[in-house]
């Protein structure tokens, strides 16, 4: 990989830019931004050349993209910003492989907007910022094998990659893209519980994080079912079963399942809008 262009150097654009910079240290990067501060951050963090965009996008501001001739074009702007970008990009993206991080813009809309089928959807989560994203990868059906390989390599640069059919992307958003926020909420709630029980919030949070890390490591390495582990922690008439009963009295399992379902439904709604 020699030349990578990235549109949007926000949370996700910056995370993937840094991951790709680690994966392809000799590649040149061009970062397109409308915020001069973020363009400067890209210059400092990955040595990127910057393409300052005016709004609305002018042909002049995009022509340097044509000159750069990116092999890979990563779209990391908010979904509602895609329509403005698409017509300009169509003329200047050349024959790049396009990776879109935008939730809610399906492959058909990408192919139509950019007039190319060399498109792949990525659905990452926020842990991309520490190289531990779970990223769903959905290539266009017409995408060549070598482009599919490049896409998987790019996704793996930021953590774990899973190929999924497009109709499961919304499910993945519920489970992981949005699901990571549910995990943060659980950790915060656990730490609040620790605080109520007399341990300071910062120390409670540190303990809560380590507890969840330990639980994840135990599940990952042993292959034991989570319900099996729950029963191992519950001694008869003991403390854990009292807590588990309280969780279920307050609808914990149903609430988490409903959160995944609600996020999935919202994603499907956004794809129709």
Q: Which stretch binds ligand NDP (CB under 6 A): 27-35, 164-172, 205-213, 243-251?
A: 27-35
C-alpha closest to that of 216 among 251, 249, 191, 186: 186
Looking from the CA of 164 toward its CB, the CA atoms found within 13 Å total 20
Taking the CA atoms of 95, 101, 107 and 113 in sequence, report the sign of the dihedral they define.
negative
17 binds, among ligand NDP, ligand A1CAB, none (CB under 5 to 8 A by kind): none
4 near ligand NDP, rule: CB under 6 A: no
Distance CA 143, CA 100 (A): 14
Is residue 77 part of an annotated ligand binding site? yes
Instruction: Give 259's contacts (C-beta < 8 A, 6+ positions apart).
Output: 174, 178, 182
- Considering only residues 162-201, where is the footprint of ligand A1CAB by CB under 6 A? 173, 177-178
77 near ligand A1CAB, rule: CB under 6 A: no
Among 46, 62, 74, 85, interactor with ligand NDP by CB under 6 A: 85
Q: Which stretch binds ligand NDP (CB under 6 A): 33-41, 146-154, 231-239, 253-261?
A: 33-41
Identify which of residues 103 and 208 has a Cβ nearer to ligand NDP in the complex.
103
Identify which of residues 116 and 133 has a Cβ nearer to ligand NDP in the complex.
133
CB 263 within 8 A of CB 125: no
Looking from the CA of 39 toward its CB, the CA atoms found within 13 Å total 14
Residue ranges in 95-225 assigned as alpha helix (H): 107-114, 145-156, 169-172, 179-196, 201-222
- For the annotated binding site for NADP(+), the residues are 76-79
List residues near ligand A1CAB by CB under 6 A.
Answer: 103, 173, 177-178
Q: Which residues bind ligand NDP (CB under 6 A)?
A: 7-13, 32-35, 38, 53, 76-79, 81, 85, 101-103, 123-126, 177
């Amino acid at each position: 990989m020699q030349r990578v262009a990235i549109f949007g150097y926000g949370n996700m654009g910056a995370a993937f830019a840094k991951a790709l910079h680690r994966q392809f240290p000799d590649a040149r990067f061009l970062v397109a931004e409308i915020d001069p501060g973020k363009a400067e951050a890209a210059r400092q963090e990955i040595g990127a050349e910057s393409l300052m965009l005016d709004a609305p996008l002018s042909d002049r501001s995009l022509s340097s993209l044509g000159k750069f001739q990116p092999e890979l074009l990563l779209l990391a702007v908010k979904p509602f910003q895609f329509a403005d970008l698409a017509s300009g990009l169509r003329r200047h993206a050349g024959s790049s492989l396009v990776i879109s991080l935008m939730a809610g813009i399906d492959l058909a809309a990408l192919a139509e907007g950019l007039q190319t089928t060399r498109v792949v959807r990525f659905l990452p989560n926020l842990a991309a910022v520490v190289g531990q994203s779970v990223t769903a990868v959905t290539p266009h059906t017409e995408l060549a094998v070598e482009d599919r390989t490049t896409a998987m390599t790019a996704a793996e640069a930021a953590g774990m990659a899973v190929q999924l059919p497009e109709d499961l992307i919304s499910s993945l958003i519920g489970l992981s893209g949005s699901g990571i926020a549910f995990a943060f909420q659980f950790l915060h709630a656990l730490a609040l519980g620790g605080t109520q029980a007399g341990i300071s919030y910062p120390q409670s949070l540190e303990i809560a994080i380590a507890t969840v890390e330990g639980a994840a490591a135990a599940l990952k390495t042993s292959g034991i079912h989570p319900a099996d582990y729950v029963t191992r922690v519950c001694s008869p008439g003991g403390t854990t079963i009292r807590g588990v009963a309280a969780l279920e009295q307050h609808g914990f399992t149903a609430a988490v399942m409903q959160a995944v379902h609600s996020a999935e439904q919202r994603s499907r709604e956004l794809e129709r809008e």
